[in-house]
């Protein structure tokens, strides 16, 4: 198994659900089944495959199935199926020996499943499927038979969405409420920001207020009490400059202020440099900024 790159940091989601019992509960709720507690779960998440700097994916083996589970708090990337395709190739390479591919007897491998839990702010349906074949060229050719497919199943887990799943997994429901409370406090503090505190200070206030509120309301209470400081550090690391750039642009457009436009340009330049420092290519940066 590959070592986790030190540049990669767990998100609150991966930290919370890196517990086999909670993963079993989560998967059961998504699939609408009940898994016996004696079925083992082996977490085998790879680094440097789906995401460069942030680990918001969990890969695990369960009952001859290989499940790749991803949480998204930003806009869903339509290229997720090709990312999953490259991910599963590396997983199978680890799970099989070099000699297996040359043996005459069929070497069976765990059945793959690809699940995305969407927790972003952009409108998104309760459920949607992303297919590898959506990116194929020349699919209008009647003689072009489909010989390869991969399906990523996307579930919206925001507050008030997919209630049947959330009702069957209390931890996921509480996580959804926690994220919703963070955003609620962010909006509240932004509106009250008469002193023009910088955005990171506002985020810090929102994170701390959400943690305090959720502990008081018994939402992820034990988890937040035990790991409060770690959760704060993870939330800071999850801070998404893309969202902040969009907010600044919108504010500049609404208010029509030149200073706002200049601030947006500064945010763009800073974000560009951050991505360069993370090792992204110019093409990858262009894709993010589009």
Tens of pLDDT, residue by residue, the chain (290 residues): 333 334 446 789 999 999 999 999 999 999 999 988 888 999 998 876 665 555 678 999 998 999 999 988 777 888 899 999 999 999 999 898 888 888 888 889 999 999 999 998 889 999 999 999 998 887 666 666 778 999 999 999 998 999 999 999 999 999 999 999 999 998 888 887 756 556 778 888 999 999 999 999 999 999 999 999 999 988 887 765 555 455 555 555 555 554 555 555 555 666 666 665 555 555 556 555 55
Distance CA 76, CA 134 (A): 15
In contact, 153 and 190? CB cutoff 8 Å: no
Provide the 10 A C-beta neighbour count for residue 15: 16
Domain span at 233: 170-281
Give the CA angle between residues 167, 172, 175 to the nearest 5°: 125
Q: Are residue 134 and residue 63 in the same domain, yes or no?
A: yes
Q: Are residue 96 and residue 232 in the same domain, yes or no?
A: no
Residue finishing a domain among 135, 167, 199: 167
pLDDT recorded at residue 85: 94
Residue finishing a domain among 114, 133, 167: 167
pLDDT recorded at residue 286: 59
Distance CA 124, CA 161 (A): 10
Q: Are residue 20 and residue 162 in the same domain, yes or no?
A: yes
Within a domain: 2 = no
Number of structural domains (the chain) is 2
Q: Are residue 105 and residue 217 in the same domain, yes or no?
A: no
Residue finishing a domain among 137, 167, 197: 167
Angle of helix 199-216 relative to helix 170-191, nearest 10 degrees, comes to 140
pLDDT recorded at residue 74: 75
Q: Are residue 200 and residue 60 in the same domain, yes or no?
A: no
Q: What is the pTM of this model?
A: 0.77
- Quickly list DSSP for 107-132: ---PEEEEEEEE--SS---SEEEEEG
Helix (H) or strand (E) holding 55: strand 54-55
Q: Exposure pattern of 145-170 as b/e (b: 16+ CB <10 Å)?
A: eeeeebebebbbbbeebbeebbebbe
Q: Are residue 195 and residue 142 in the same domain, yes or no?
A: no
């Amino acid at each position: 198994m590959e070592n986790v790159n030190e540049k990669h940091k767990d998100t609150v989601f991966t930290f919370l659900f890196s517990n086999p019992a909670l993963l079993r509960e989560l998967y059961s709720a998504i699939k609408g089944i009940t898994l016996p507690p004696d079925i083992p779960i082996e977490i085998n998440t790879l680094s440097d495959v789906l995401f460069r700097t942030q680990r918001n994916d969990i890969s695990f083996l369960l009952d001859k199935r290989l499940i790749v589970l991803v949480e998204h708090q930003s806009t869903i990337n339509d290229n997720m199926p090709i990312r999953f395709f490259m991910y599963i190739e590396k997983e199978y390479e680890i799970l099989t020996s070099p000699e297996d591919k040359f043996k005459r007897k069929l070497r069976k491998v765990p059945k793959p499943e690809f699940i995305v839990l969407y927790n972003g702010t952009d409108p998104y349906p309760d459920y949607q499927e992303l297919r590898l074949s959506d990116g194929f060229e020349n699919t209008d050719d009647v003689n072009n038979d489909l010989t390869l497919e991969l399906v990523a199943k996307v579930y919206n887990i925001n507050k008030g969405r997919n209630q049947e799943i959330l009702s069957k997994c209390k931890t996921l429901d509480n996580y959804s409420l926690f994220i919703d409370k963070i955003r609620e406090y962010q909006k509240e503090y932004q509106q009250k920001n008469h002193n023009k505190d910088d955005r990171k200070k506002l985020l810090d206030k929102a994170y701390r207020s959400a943690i305090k509120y959720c502990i008081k309301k018994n939402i992820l209470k034990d988890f937040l009490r035990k790991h409060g400081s770690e959760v704060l550090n993870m939330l800071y690391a999850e801070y998404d400059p893309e969202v902040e750039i969009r907010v600044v642009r919108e504010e500049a457009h609404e208010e029509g202020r030149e200073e706002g436009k200049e601030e947006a340009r500064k945010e763009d330049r800073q974000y560009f440099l951050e991505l360069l420092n993370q090792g992204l290519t110019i093409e990858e940066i262009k894709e993010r900024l589009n």
